[in-house]
Amino acid sequence: MNYTRALEARLDGFDGPIFPDSVDKFMAAQDAWDMHNNYSMTKIAKAIPGFKGGTVYLTSDGYYWYFGLHFVSQDSEMVILLPEFGDLNEQTNRMERVRSVAVYLSGEFDYESILTQLIEGIINSGKKHVEEVAAMRAEEDAILGPETIARLEESANRFADALV
């Protein structure tokens, strides 16, 4: 991944930004499972001890971050800022980030542990979604039968081809 790292973007009351290797792994997990919305990330973060909440943040460079996850631990705090998405990448058919995820700290904080737990949460959530979709497909197959499913898929493919 080669996202712009906004080194000049300061956050009041915090040191940083920092960009540990786990930030790249976090973004890769988000991309792999398409977990970019604040609802999904908040749901995952709530399971991590120390999660205080999430909101929009403004950094010193005038950039409004899409969403930030705020964690506290005794006398220290951490915020993980998630950027907006820009244009659609025609090759991947995905929206591209305008910059890298950034981590801000106040005091000593085990940011690697939190990022690892978020990555695991994204992966587990994605796996759960795949299992739910597989169960729905099995239920559809049982109700509609394989012939009807095949006709519907053929019709959908013809429609998609007509759009091209």
Cα 65 from chain centroid (whole Å) = 13
Give the pLDDT confidence of 4-46 residue by residue, as tens digits: 899 999 999 999 999 998 898 888 888 776 667 778 888 889 9
Q: Which domain holds residue 38?
A: 15-126
| Residue of 133, 112, 138, 42 whose CA lies nearest to 82 | 42
Report how many domains make up the chain: 1
Confirm if 68 and 56 have CB atoms less than 8 A apart.
Answer: yes
Residue 104 three-state SS = strand
Give the pLDDT confidence of 39-91 residue by residue, as tens digits: 888 888 999 999 999 999 999 999 999 999 999 998 899 999 999 877 666 77
Considering the entire predicted model, what is its pTM?
Answer: 0.74
Q: Report if residue 84 sits inside a domain.
A: yes
Q: Report if residue 37 sits inside a domain.
A: yes
